[in-house]
Structure 1
Amino acid sequence: MSTNKKNDQLKSPMIDGTMPHQISSPSFKGSGMEIEPPFVNKHGVVIGDSFYDSPNSPLNNWSKETDPAIMAGDEWVHPTNDIGWNTAENIELVEENKMPDSNKTTFMHPTLDVSKGTD
């Protein structure tokens, strides 16, 4: 439950109380997952409303000087209303009531170990 008044005023991402509004995403009904409302990240950008139109979003202020890394990290991903739910692998996880092991899948890439730092 959110304690941030700004977050509490955001529209819910639900359709019929059960699904995020990503067109091809799976139904979470019966999966044990609760649909989460949109939230505002530390940059003041609304995540999970599917409008992708926050005034201070890097997407609305992109330039040659914008470092794409500014949009990296969990604070840019909504747990239940993200385009990633449209993939066959994630639809299968929900339909089989299996949640991904975040220790193994957070930094998946077919040929590179992207979990390693660049330091």
Structure 2
Amino acid sequence: MSDQDKMGSADDPALDPYEINFLPGFRQGRGPSAPFVNEFGVTIGDHQYESPESPLNQWSEETDPAVMAGDQWVHPFKDIGFLTSENRDYFEQGIAPQSGIFTHPDKNVATGVEDGVDPAKGEQSGN
């Protein structure tokens, strides 16, 4: 038996460095724990981010960025974002994140929107 066989495959869900210890309620109905192939032919969850099938490697001015949006690009268990302290608290201990930590209470980014002004251009919008 080789050392690799003894250690397991790099794609073995039990050995994944990005997977956290989800509470049982968060494990149910999440989807596959092993890597999967999405509708674009890209394997998600194998940590091989340089896939030739990925739209990122075929990007041009004609590429619609929306093709990279959606759940088909995120593994339900193996995502580096799960390693943040806020996500670990939530998914491993059930501690909900603090509200308002990503807001700027002294900045109103919607200023002018209610008046039909496009804040980016400082002009009246078509409303």
TM-score class, shorter-chain normalisation, is 0.5 to 0.7
Summarize the Cα distance change of 1:47–1:110 in structure 2 as closer, same or farther, 3 Å threshold: farther
Instruction: Say which one has the larger Rg.
Output: 2
Deviation at 1:44?
Answer: 0.7
The share of aligned pairs that are identical, in percent, is: 45
How far the C-alpha of 1:52 sits from its partner, in A, is: 1.5
TM-score after normalising by structure 2: 0.54
Q: Can you give the 5+ residue segments of structure 1 that lack an aligned partner in the other structure?
A: 1-9, 101-108, 113-119
Q: TM-score, normalised by structure 1?
A: 0.57
Unmatched tracts of structure 2, length 5 or more: 1-9, 97-101, 110-127
Q: Flag the structure with higher helix content.
A: 2
Inter-partner Cα distance in structure 2 for 1:69 and 1:78: 18
| Secondary structure of the corresponding residue to residue 14 of structure 1 | helix
Distance in 1 between the 2:95 and 2:70 partners? 19
- 1:47 equivalent in structure 2: 44
Identify the residue that residue 21 of structure 2 maps to in structure 1: 28
Q: CA deviation at 1:46?
A: 0.6
Show the counterpart of 1:12: 12
Q: RMSD in angstroms over aligned alpha carbons?
A: 3.1
> In the aligned structure 1, how far is the partner of 2:33 from the partner of 2:56?
23
Are the aligned partners of 1:13 and 1:48 in contact in 2 as well (CA < 8 Å)? no
Cα offsets for 1:58-103 (capped at 9, x unmatched): 122122322221111111110110122022221111231x398xxx
